[in-house]
Amino acid sequence: MPDWEWLRLETRGVVSDFTGLVAMTIQELKLQDMDAVDAYQRREESLAQMAQFRCHRCPKLPEQYALIRNRRKLTERIRHLQYQVSDASVQQMPEYLQRVRVLQQTGFIDEDKVVQMKGRIMCELNSCDELVGSEMIFAGVLADLEPEEAVALLSALVFQEKTDDSPALPEKLVAAKARMLQLAKDAADVQLQCGLDVVAEDYCKAVLNFGLVQVVYEWARGTPFADICMLTDVPEGSIVRCIVRLDEVCREVKDAARLMGDSTLFLKMQTGSELIKRDIVFSASLYIAKS
């Protein structure tokens, strides 16, 4: 039913009568809130006054109602545009322009703000820090690593909890860790140069956490879950959550590799995902029923 037809019925009393039958009386509804009672009484008074207006019996009511409705829409549109040009809105513009400069300097977009290949790769990454993750892919950090080493290194992008452990890593992972830290530091420096309030050390800690690299590495090598839990003070639930999120990152990096045409990285991520996707971590339920 059109809005104007509903209004016509309401003002003629049809809808108000039906509402009265449903709502009955304030006493029967046992309304205790004075604001609700006042609102109910004002509504009834307004409906009674509207029913007496001759304009609501006008045959041009639909046309007039449409004009008023369009006017309200335009008023809302004007209010929205006024907000967009107000100080409350444009105060975010400097930060936006600074971030655009960051993307231009790092090669994600060109001078005309056209998205480049790095930018398209960044769009594929949604489960981790897009800037550092994309730089890691383009820098070839994962190129010399085995699948189990690659997924272990990627865990630094998704693990977010605190731990006091100092993981014992293979030599190749130690070198890859240093490269990732340098990429994160370089990204922070570029943001700082573009005017963003970024501290390199804090930024690196926020986007990279290597606390579960050893745990994920051993898990990808086939170590039982009970044994990998002995390698860290991180709770078992956090380990499971990290590995599940890591599988999502593997899929995103795999999609990025397909976009780049890097079949080696694609197969490596596919293998890495298969290595970690096993046992209790990916069980449909932790409740085991006796058959």
Q: Is 90 exceeded by the pLDDT of residue 74?
A: yes
Q: Terminus-to-terminus CA distance in the chain, angstroms?
A: 57
Architecture of domain 93-282: Orthogonal Bundle (1.10)
Q: Return the pLDDT at 78.
A: 92
Give Cβ neighbours of residue 269 (< 8 Å, ≥ 6 apart): 147, 150, 151, 250, 251, 253, 254, 257
Torsion of CA 173, 124, 132, 175, to 10 degrees: 10
Q: Return the beta strands (E) in 133-281 as ranges.
A: none
Mean pLDDT of 91-101: 81
| pLDDT one-digit tens code per residue, 146-186 | 999 999 999 999 998 888 777 788 899 999 999 999 999 99
Of 16-25, 34-43, 65-74, 211-220, give the lowest mean pLDDT range. 16-25
Q: List, by residue range, all CATH 1.10.3380.30 domains of the chain.
A: 93-282
- Of 42-46, 89-93, 236-240, 259-263, give the lowest mean pLDDT range: 89-93
Percent of the chain at pLDDT exceeding 90? 44
The rounded distance, in Å, linking the Cα atoms of 157 and 125 is: 11
**Chain centroid offset of residue 252 CA:** 15
**If residue 27 lies in a helix (H) or strand (E), which one and from where to where?**
helix 26-29
DSSP string of 51-73, one letter each residue: HT-GGGG-TTHHHHHHHHHHHHH
3 state SS of 259: helix
The DSSP string of 84-109 is HTSHHHHTTHHHHHHHHHHHHHTTSB
22 has pLDDT over 70: no
Q: What is the pLDDT of residue 16?
A: 47
Whole-number pLDDT of residue 290: 45
Q: How far apart are CA 63 and CA 70, in angstroms?
A: 11
Residue with tokens 């499971």: 240
21 vs 258, more confident: 258
Helix ranges (H only) for 208-262 are: 213-220, 225-228, 236-260
**Residue 266 above 70 pLDDT?**
yes
pTM, full prediction: 0.66
pLDDT band at 31 (very low <50, low <70, confident <90, very high): low
State the average pLDDT over residues 39-49.
81
Percent of the chain with pLDDT over 70: 84
Amino acid 154: pLDDT: 94
Give 286's Cβ-side CA count (13 Å radius). 4
State pLDDT tens for residues 47-61: 788 777 777 777 887
Q: Which of 13, 9, 253 is nearest to 136 (CA)?
A: 253
